[in-house]
Amino acid sequence: MTINKDSSQVTLLENERACLGTAMLRKRRQMTQKQAHHSGKLGRADLHMHSTYSDGLATIEQILHHVQHYTNLDVIALTDHDVIEGSLKARDLWAKGNYRFDFIVGEEISTKEGHMLALFIEKRIQPGLSIEKSIDLVHEQGGLAIVA
């Protein structure tokens, strides 16, 4: 938060942050039945995977198949570099299948300061922004931002 001499500016900035936080919590409360079932349970996750949509070697179909048959993961996130289309497509394939693991839509964002994972988002975050702006955009979607 930037502190200016004008205290109304400080209050406005604090209120904007509070609104973003409230929106993020409200979005997280909108869980699917499957998400609610797993809420509060321990499990195994890989939240940083890449496919052929960026610099990965496997297609999304191959990733879903591999996780289903050759791992004990309970949840995965597909986080290709600066694209969300592969993750959205993977979620659609996952939803149509009978997979034993959960799937999280994500993206690895290239910020000015470095890479950041964005989880639980629906729209692509533009690369090249400051990390602060990128985090704000992730939170506006109700997502979770993690430095990668």
Span 102-111, pLDDT tens digits: 999 999 999 9
Residue with tokens 């499990």: 43
Neighbours of 105 (CB within 10 A): 23
54 is a domain residue: yes
Question: Average of pLDDT values for 70-81?
Answer: 97
Burial (0-12, 13-18, 19+ Cβ within 10 Å), 59: middle
Q: What is the DSSP letter of 13?
A: H
Q: Looking at residue 42, what is its pLDDT?
A: 83
User: In which band, very low, low, confident or very high, does the pLDDT at 99 lie, cut at 50, 70 and 90?
Assistant: very high
Structure tokens given for 24: 């993020």
14 is a domain residue: yes
Range of the domain at 24: 7-147
pLDDT at 84 over 60: yes
User: In which band, very low, low, confident or very high, does the pLDDT at 119 lie, cut at 50, 70 and 90?
Assistant: very high
What CATH number did the domain enclosing 63 receive? 3.20.20.140
Structure tokens given for 78: 């597909």
Structure tokens given for 56: 């990965």
The total number of structural domains in the chain stands at: 1
Instruction: Give the global pTM.
Output: 0.74
* Separation of alpha carbons 117 and 139, rounded Å: 12
Structure tokens given for 69: 């048959």
Q: 3 versus 123: which is more confidently predicted?
A: 123
1 is a domain residue: no
Q: 123 versus 10: which is more confidently predicted?
A: 123
DSSP-derived pairing of the beta strands 114-119 and 102-111: antiparallel
2 is a domain residue: no
Residue with tokens 């797993």: 38
